[in-house]
Amino acid sequence: MTDAAKKATASPSGRVNIKTLQVDDEVNCWCGKCKGFRAHKVKTLQPPKPPKSVCLTCRAVHQVRLQEPGTKKSRSDRKEMPDVPPWPELVAGVDPDTASSYHIMGNFEIGELVMHKSFGLGCVIAVPTEQRAQMSFESGVKWLLQNHAGR
């Protein structure tokens, strides 16, 4: 009888099947402590969970993980709105005399202080187009025209 006793364990692809691991098997798996793939030795089987292994590098004992633990994608993927401070902060400590008086033919820049005859002191917070400026006043955020050819 040919004793094929010990099956050739190493699969050709070099892939490890967690379910067929045996105690003392060596497995190259992720070590959370070393933060990398390291040689581990299987210590205890605990089906149905992956076996516990000891990292031959740092000696940490942990479950066999064949893949790097999920690096979460939620790393501020969402587009952030520009953070505009509330009106009182925008105009805190400024001298209203330095504000440019609002005029439809004016040309305002972000951060510029504006004195509006009805809204009072404000600050330009956005200029999306040449003709429109968004300004923050005590009464709220307003869209105002600018660079308009007056009549």
Chain positions contacting Zn ion, by CB under 5 A: 31, 33-34, 38, 55, 57-58, 60
- HSE-CB of 150 using CA atoms within 13 angstroms: 6
CB of 13 vs Zn ion, minimal distance in Å: 24
CB of 57 to Zn ion, least distance (A): 4
Shortest distance (Å) from residue 21 CB to Zn ion:
17
Nearer to Zn ion, 62 or 132 (CB): 62
| Cα-based distances in Å from 2 to 5, 6, 7, 8, 75 | 8, 11, 12, 14, 58
Burial 135-145 (b: 16+ CB within 10 A, else e): bbbeeeeeebe
CB of 56 to Zn ion, least distance (A): 8
Instruction: Decide whether 18 or 84 has the Cβ nearer to Zn ion.
Output: 18
DSSP strand E in 5-98: where?
26-31, 36-46, 49-55, 61-63
46 versus 57: smaller Cβ distance to Zn ion: 57
CA distance 67 to 69: 6
Our CB check for Zn ion shows the closer of 31 and 42 to be: 31
